[in-house]
Amino acid sequence: VHPSFCLQTQEFFVLGCQCLTELKDKIFCRTDEMMRRSGHHDPSGYFLIEDLFCNDLREPNSIDYSEPIFDWLRNAKEEVDQKWESIIRGDLKRKQKALLYKMPPSKVPGFRRTEMQSLRFCDLRFQLGAPYLYCHQGDCKHTIVIRDLRLINPNDTQNRAAYPIVSFRLKPRLQKCNVCNIFRAKKVTLNDKLASYNPCHFCENCYFLLHYSEDWTLLYDDFTVYDYLLD
């Protein structure tokens, strides 16, 4: 199994008898650390595998992230059908569209949901190599791919407690300041109206030059800032 954005960042060996929560707890994401430092860490999250939302509801303050999606599926049927058709057929040329629109519409899957702490990998229905979704911390999304499926052999680690085993993790990289492009980033902002990027990385000097006056008064505060951690 490996989660990623647009490139492989991590890879794990997981046992079929293990629950999805055991993999979730092993996935490393800097967003988790940023949210913990800011005091806004959310233990919730879900995997979307085929038509099944697997929600992490272990903590009393966990949120069912799939609930708004199911509300939309129930209450906006026409929009749901249109979105599903666009996903299935894609951005086709006019001649292809004219041909395909004569075909009966594809039926929206009957999405279901369950709690990931009670679901084992061996109970899942999935396709090898297919991209699935992992969502956490509100709207931080990763692509999950189950790449291989096999029996354990004598060369594998036999200690069940050692799994999931991290077999690959992308080395952290240093992010430079998006303003000067010289010094290492120390701050990162979200929804910053004067920033060139969102999120935007700043060295300490550029951050204070943009956001503070000469008397150290904050010029505006309608943005979110975190201490920058390695990607």
70 — phi, psi (to 5°)?
-70, -35
pLDDT at 6: 53
Work out the pLDDT band at 80, boundaries 50, 70, 90: confident
- Between CA 11 and CA 23 the distance in angstroms is 10
Q: Which of 136, 147, 171, 158 is nearest to 62 (CA)?
A: 136
Work out the pLDDT band at 173, boundaries 50, 70, 90: confident
- The answer to whether 22 touches 84, Cβ cutoff 8 Å, is no
19 — phi, psi (to 5°)?
-85, 160
Pick from 27-31, 40-44, 187-191, 226-230: least confident? 226-230
Tokens 């999120």 sit on residue: 199
Higher pLDDT residue, 5 or 106?
106
**In the predicted model, is pLDDT for residue 2 greater than 70?**
no
**In the predicted model, is pLDDT for residue 188 greater than 80?**
yes
CA atoms within 13 A of residue 160's CA, in its CB half-sphere: 5
By residue count, the chain amounts to 231
Full-model pTM: 0.71
